[in-house]
């Protein structure tokens, strides 16, 4: 394994290169890094040269200087692929990495696309969610009026972090803004443009990106097939490593 880095879109991306064979881009989920998906890299590296990416703001790759969305992350991967001379790669994306994989594959030539418990479908919002959003907005307005914006900001940030997800609470101010932008992007309109054979691998107990999302993707992506694992959650590749490895090996070795 060799750690490399490249400057793209005004930021540095660090990545590991393993294996040999045709190229494959591997992208982890939000709040993770390349080591999280190292077991996937090991399987794919049996017959591919794997570029295991630390997405900007994760692992050894610094945060972007501006608030990025899925478009900017995808543009960075497109520039990386171009600058490294990678042609017709396969793509594996887990969770947030799946967002980038979806947009990349919708407008670039891709050999195979593997989406693992992938994000990309804007989640349904419950009454509880909207209650939290609108009560927070009301509290924010009252605090600003009572304390003024400058004095109110630390208190508002504290309240926001407690109401937000674990990922949101753990993020820096820049990454909080990026996460908010990315999770509100619905990628369904891009899915019908994906031409590559696509494998969806899902945990049936996934609550972060539920099976509903997988079924929507299977319906919208023209050449998609879905494999799900009973009892597995959002990290299906860790919850059922043996089953995951068998499915991934079979798909990567298949001919188009």
Listed residues 179, 208, 223: the one ending a domain: 179
Residue 104's domain is classified under what CATH number?
Answer: 3.40.50.1820
Do 25 and 149 belong together in one domain?
no
Do 209 and 240 belong together in one domain?
yes
CB atoms within 10 A of CB 74: 22
Rounded CA-CA distance 11/9 in Å is: 6
Listed residues 136, 153, 179: the one ending a domain: 179
Residues spanned by the domain of 168: 127-179
Do 99 and 193 belong together in one domain?
yes
Do 152 and 38 belong together in one domain?
no
Q: Is 30 within 8 Å of 11 (Cβ atoms)?
A: no
Q: Is 167 within 8 Å of 179 (Cβ atoms)?
A: yes
SS3 per-residue string spanning 15-57: EEEEECCEEEEEECCCCCCHHHHHHHHHHHCCCEEEEEEECCC
User: Which pair of tokens denotes residue 155?
Assistant: 């208190």
Rounded CA-CA distance 155/188 in Å is: 37
pLDDT values of the chain reduced to their tens digit, one per residue, 256 residues: 568 999 999 999 999 999 999 999 999 999 899 999 999 999 999 999 999 999 999 999 999 999 999 999 999 999 999 999 999 999 999 999 999 999 999 999 999 999 999 999 987 755 555 455 556 656 667 777 777 777 777 776 666 555 556 666 677 889 989 988 998 899 999 999 999 999 999 999 998 999 999 999 999 999 999 999 999 999 999 999 999 999 999 999 986 5
- Number of folded domains in the chain? 2
Query: pTM value?
Result: 0.85
Do 100 and 43 belong together in one domain?
yes
Do 77 and 190 belong together in one domain?
yes
The count of C-alpha atoms lying within 13 angstroms of the C-alpha of 4, restricted to the half-sphere facing its C-beta, is: 14
Do 20 and 60 belong together in one domain?
yes
152 closest CA partner among 162, 161, 139: 139
């Amino acid at each position: 394994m060799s750690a490399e880095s490249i400057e793209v879109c005004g930021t540095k991306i660090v990545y590991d290169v393993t294996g040999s064979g045709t190229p494959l881009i591997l992208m982890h989920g939000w709040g993770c890094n390349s080591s999280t998906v190292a077991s996937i890299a090991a399987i794919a590296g049996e017959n591919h040269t794997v570029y295991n990416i630390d997405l900007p703001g994760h692992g050894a790759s610094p945060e972007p200087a501006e608030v990025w969305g899925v478009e900017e992350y995808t543009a960075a991967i497109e520039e990386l692929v171009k600058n490294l001379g990678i042609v017709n790669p396969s793509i594996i994306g887990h969770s947030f990495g799946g967002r980038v994989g979806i947009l990349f594959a919708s407008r670039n030539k891709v050999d195979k696309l593997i989406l693992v418990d992938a994000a990309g479908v804007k989640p349904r919002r419950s009454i509880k969610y909207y209650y939290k959003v609108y009560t927070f907005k009301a509290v924010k307005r009252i605090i600003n009026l009572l304390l003024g914006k400058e004095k109110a900001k630390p208190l508002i940030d504290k309240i926001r972090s407690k109401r937000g997800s674990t990922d949101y609470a753990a993020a820096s101010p820049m990454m909080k803004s990026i996460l908010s932008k990315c999770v509100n992007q619905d990628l369904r309109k891009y899915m019908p443009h994906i031409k590559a054979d696509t494998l969806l691998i899902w945990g049936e107990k996934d609550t972060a990106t539920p099976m509903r999302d997988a079924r929507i993707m299977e319906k919208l992506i023209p050449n998609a097939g879905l494999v799900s694992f009973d009892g597995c959650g959002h990290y299906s590749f860790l919850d059922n490593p043996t089953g995951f490895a068998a499915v991934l090996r079979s798909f990567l070795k298949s001919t188009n």
